[in-house]
Structure formats: C-alpha cells, structure tokens
Amino acid sequence: MDNFKNDVEIKLIALDMDGTLLNNEGQISEANRKEIKAATNKGIFVVLSTGRSLITSREHADSLELSSYLVTVNGSEIWDEKRELVERNLVKSELIEWMWELSKQHKTNYWAISTKRNWRNEMPDDLHTFEWMKFGFDVDDDAVRETILKELYAKGEFEISNSSLQNIEVNPAGINKATGLRIVCNRLGIDMDSVMAVGDSLNDVAMIKEAGLGVAMGNAQDIVKTAADWVTATNEEDGVAQAIRKWVI
C-alpha cells in the first residue's frame, strides 16, 4: 500500500486524540509535535477530532498552537479557530436518563458529557435542566456489553461507537466525526478527498472511511485497520508523526 493515493493532495489532517495523538501517558510526543508543526507551516489545517469535550481537549490544541477547527464529543460539537461554537447536536435528556438507568441495572461504570461539564459515575439531581451530548458505558463483562448494545440498537435513537474495546459511546443518531469533518471542510472549502484522518477506535471509522486517506494506528482495533487505507505505527511509536511524514511532508 506504500504507493496508495500518492496523487492525493492532503489539505487537512484530522487526528483522534486518545490512542492516536496521545501516548499511553496522555502526552503528545516531541516527534508528533514536530511533524504537526511542519504540516501547519505548509498551510495544512490540523483538526483534532475527538470523543473528548472542549474542556478536556482545548489544552492540547493550544499547546500545539493550532488555529483551526475542533471536532469534539464525536462530532456533537464543532468549534471554529476562535473556539466559538459552530454547531451542537444534543441527546434528549429523557434518553440520557434511560441510559443512566440501564447502566445502573447492569451495574456498569458510566460517564456523560453535558454542555456545562463532564460527569463520571454520578449524575445531577436536576438532570433534565442540562443539555446533553453523549453518554458512555464502561463494561468489563463481554456478555453484559452485548446485552446493553442490543438494547441501545433496539431503541433506534443513537449513533453507537466506542473509544476502547471495553466501552460504549452513544451520540445522537447520525452524528459522528465524519459529519463534523464535513461541516469543517465545507466551511474551509476543502473536499473530503483532501483529508487524511487518523484514529484507533470504532468512533474513528466513519471519518477514516470518508477521508481521502484513512490511516489506522498500529494499536488500532481490527475493525479500524480493515476500514483504513494504510496502517501506521502505534501511539507509543509516534504513529501520527510517521503518517504525516510519509503522506504530507
């Protein structure tokens, strides 16, 4: 695959964060920083496309001196270069409550992202006064995870993915990182064929498939590697830097 799409001119790099841009200590390596800087110096947009909220991703974007868009909460929020909100997609609070009850029923850990803050293994008393964007389940037991997935799919209201093999991430139906990136590309006048998307988990598959060049990390889930055009090194081996160096620089 070394000669794959050599004629594609990459104008935007979309990077997942956990398991991709960040190493296992949650840090950005110097090699990754160097190649991202080289790409931005060439006028290429670098967009963090993450399941995280702005609260937990902004610091990393600022440390990279990125002056481009951010796709956060798996596409539920898009922020412009001034960190002003472009679009937000919400999950009905009644559905958040239903998923919370489902997590309690199966005794799983959980988290939820509202427009005000992130919640982990706790929820506010006044749940219905919040605006919600995502709910997540942490499930160690494979059988329990499958049971929860069946109930979620049966509901027919959700976009379902994961950011690790042990969790489930739930967004509004039809909302994912690819939908977020399409909005960004439209605003920048860039075709999705000119995007290189890099990721490691199920919540990255949509953008990897739609991008002109989809790159899976060496540590990616098998489903991601199958969807990708090329597989780079792991997040511990500066896989992002290697992909940028090969396909962009």
Q: Residue 14: beta bridge partners?
A: 47, 197
Q: Count other Cβ atoms within 10 Å, centred on residue 41.
A: 9
Q: Phi/psi of residue 84, each to 5°?
A: -100, 145
Cβ pair 149, 168 in contact under 8 A: yes
- Which of 78, 96, 85 shows the shortest CA–CA distance to 171? 96
Catalytic residue among 16, 200, 229, 238: 16
The encoded tokens of residue 211 equal 């991008």
Distance of alpha carbon 100 from alpha carbon 121, whole angstroms: 10
Position of tokens 């489930």?
A: 168
Position of tokens 């860039």?
A: 190
Q: Which H or E run includes 178?
A: helix 177-188
Distance of alpha carbon 51 from alpha carbon 26, whole angstroms: 14
DSSP string spanning 122-150?
---TTGGGS-EEEEEEE---HHHHHHHHH
| Active site (annotated) includes residue 126 | no
Catalytic residues: 16
